Chains A and B, each alone.
Chain A
Amino acid sequence: MTAPRGGCFGKVLEIDLSKQTYKTREVSDEIYQKAIGGNGLAAYFLTTEYKAHKDPLAEDAFIYVGPGPLNGTYCVSTRTSFAHMSPYTGLISHAETGAHFGNEIRWAGWDGIYITGRSKKPVWLSIVDDKVEFKDATKIWGKDTEETHEAIIKEMNDPYARTAVIGPAGENQVPFSCVIVERFRAAARSGTGMLMGNKKLKGLAVRGTKAVPVVDNAKFMEMATYAKKLAIDKECWQGVKRWGTAGLLELKNFVDGSLITKNYQTTWYPDIVKIGAEAANRKFWKRHVACNHCPIHCLKLGVIRDGKYKGLIAEGPEYESGGLLGSNLGMTDFNSMIALIEVCDALGLDNISAGGVLGFVTELMERGILKPADLDGLKPKWGDGDTYMELIRKMAYKEGKAGKLLSKGVKKMAAEIGKGSELYAIHVKGKELAAHDPRADKARTYSYCLGSCGGDHHEGASTRALVIFAMINSLCTCSFASALIWGGENAKITVGMLNPLCGWNMTEDDYWTTGKRILTMERVFNVREGISRKDDALPKRLTTEKLPAGPKKGAVFTEEDTKKMQDEFYSFVGWDAKGIPTEATLKAYGLEYAIDDIARARKEYNL
């Protein structure tokens, strides 16, 4: 076991909430080379420490808050990964978020935070360099994310501290609740909020004053400067700088034909002009906000200037939030949509899953499968912002019949409701899909189906991109400022930065091997929980119902498409026809420890 020479500290902060103690866990350079950090390192911990069929809410279940080796260095735009076994899907899960939180962890001298145990009373953690304090959170328990953030910053007495907090949804253990980082950014989609709520951990606040050591600074700066220059200059991204991801709302509707509308009934929604980027620009946006060292500043802040919600400062719409809580719900009133987005953030709910659930119940109501009596007398219709607002609130507090039903997520809801509602429940591996309709945006199916978390839009839209995204989720770099901009140069730039930073001798081939290794580790975890080829597929509605209108009218994602996609990917990463990593593959990636697990799973699930 050798200590890392640079890039990583070799130290992970291990926190035990049950005993309210902390210690340093040493991680060797070999493991960093194998798993990089962030999501990859979490996958390593999860596969080596968890036995199959672990209870994701057990007391010793952990959350790994992991930045990667590039966080806190000159690299352009870096992020944070929250990874753990998801209580929502029961599979491995990771959520990445922007902002400065991850860098602050690194500047505090840690490679990541490993949180385990369960506190008896609510706490929040204050981490200032090496000093960790468990603070009483009884007073802020129950407050929304913004108030919590303010209260924590006030108690830290340091406006430069960075926070990650949960809202009431996390406290009430809604399975798709999220962590809100620095008020406007969310690490969502995997139920991290529920897990933190279960551990009675209200939030984390971090402040660091150290620096990340670099082995060969001159070489590192050269490559990092080159990478940053690409992010500044690349022409195709000037639109994202100007319009954020909201610009995609119009693009995806009028050109690409893949904007989800009314729970996947169609992708044609001309009313998008009322709630899209242009409307936001005219009547909402005020500022551009960037993550650390990022020239793209894709986050847009604005204020609602009239009507019921006058004076509400909010972030968005982004493509996913504007899609799921906008066109998916048939919204035509811009202000109402923004209020929905902001309330979801305040309560700590995942915008995408919440939007998916609301779209689902609205369609069931329309088709008469659900009655208002099932939802406490509420009758959601397309575009009815007030009812949606009430449902979101009920969802977050699990209040009444409606709250209890809706907070289960579409998969369990469909199972409970029955009556053919399964057809309208759009999810992959139990998680709602994001706002790209895979019938038109076929490449996105790779991410939805083959990505390890299920239903996730952020895992790469082609075979090679899946490997690249496995890497960027472990390096915790941004898909806009790095992966997608670097394009074909991804391997070159990443290796060119990592080698001088950490003193490694990675080659470009190693880059691909490492990416595939991380994907395989995640797959090993999922296979143990019973995932195989049959689960890597879209729901029936998207493979049978043709798109009724729009630029891609008549498109459908056929069974052949699915088969082709799966075969292509499995052979690329070295898995067999059932989507299980073969023994030779595991050996090639140095994952011998997983061979027994896989053999057991094959027997158990008859694969």
Chain B
Amino acid sequence: MNDQNGGYVMEGKEKKLPDLFPKETTRRGFLRGTAVAAGSAVAMATVGGLAAKTVHAQAAPPAPQQKDLMRFLFAERENCTGCRACEYACSVYHTGIVRPSVSRIHVLKYKDSIDVPIVCWHCEDAPCIAACPTTPKSIIADPKHNGIILNEKTCLGRKCLKCQEACPAQFVWVNPDTGMPLMCDMCEGDPACVKACKDQSGNPQGPCLVANKLGFGVNLAFRNVTPNQAGKDLLDLTFYPSVDGKRPIPAKTKKTRRS
């Protein structure tokens, strides 16, 4: 984490910021984060963590901490191994048993070579809520943790699904039993999928899902990438020089010539 800012530690100690360019360093770290953010949300998460810690370092003495409520989800797509622990955790959190078809989060296998986790980016402008035709709105963003809360009594369900159409990330699925849209409610600020992902990961890859208090606007940039686009981008990026997963000559099998 400290690598982002040249290795100095701020927590619990006197600030050891170098006198020269303290702000610039931070900004550079931030910029670097955004630059990588084209494919990396972890960098953003670290910067976010850093910002949080700076605040704590200034406010003394540290009060007995309550767990912070997270407001945003990020997916570091390159780290996904396709184990679907997030889907398992999500459906277990919401229904008690494993049932990926009612999981909010999903993992798309693109050309069977790339796994694309599809998360709710919790956009500040929330196109899904804007599209909801009922009055009052059947979906609202919880002010505390930014989770989208669905009111099943007023929601029109399968008849409407304007929210599904409106979601630029193609995140919203429909519950096959009730016809209700499946919205990410952030598990009240402590997402189960993030915990499951963190548990599974570690050797040699870091976690794919990250929760954060800030969105940095990156979520708004990410959301416009559809799962298939993300898959194609990742495929070309990961498996260069392969083009869109196409097989070169050797595997092309010749036509059968029966002798």
Which residues of A does B touch, CB under 8 Å?
72-74, 100, 107, 142, 144, 146, 149-150, 159-160, 168, 172, 182-184, 208-214, 217, 221, 232, 238, 241-242, 286-295, 297, 301, 303, 305, 308-313, 339, 342-343, 346-347, 389, 393, 396-397, 399-400
Contact = CB atoms under 8 A, between A and B. Distances in A.
Interface stretch (B3-11, B44-52, B239-247): B239-247
Give the one of B88, B108, B200 with max A CB within 10 A.
B200
B124 to A, nearest CB: 29
A463 B64 CA distance: 56
B242 A311 contact: yes
11 contacts: A168-B256, A211-B98, A212-B98, A217-B97, A293-B83, A303-B241, A310-B241, A311-B242, A311-B243, A312-B248, A393-B254
B67 interface: no
Interface of B: 81-85, 88, 91-92, 95-101, 106, 108-115, 176, 199-205, 238-243, 245-251, 253-259
B94 to A, nearest CB: 12
B191 to A, nearest CB: 17
Interface class of chain B by DSSP: loop
A303 B240 CA distance: 7
Contacts, number: 147
Given A292-B83, A303-B242, 16 more contacts: A146-B251, A160-B109, A183-B113, A209-B99, A211-B97, A232-B199, A232-B200, A289-B81, A289-B82, A293-B84, A293-B88, A303-B241, A310-B248, A311-B242, A311-B246, A399-B259
A342 B84 CA distance: 26
A293 B176 contact: no
Interface class of chain A by DSSP: loop
Contacts of A397: 253, 256-257
B203 A242 contact: yes
B256 A241 contact: no
A297 B250 contact: no
A292 B253 contact: no
Given A303-B241, A343-B250, A295 B101 contact: no
B106 to A, nearest CB: 8
Given A144-B253, A160-B108, A303-B242, A208 B248 contact: no
A103 B81 CA distance: 17
A339 B253 CA distance: 13
Contacts of A221: 92
A74 B85 CA distance: 9
A184 B112 contact: yes
Contacts of A183: 112-113
Nearest to A335: B250
B98 A74 contact: yes
Nearest to A305: B241
A138 B258 CA distance: 19
A313 B112 CA distance: 11
B48 to A, nearest CB: 26
B88 A342 contact: no
Contacts of B95: 211
Contacts of B176: 209
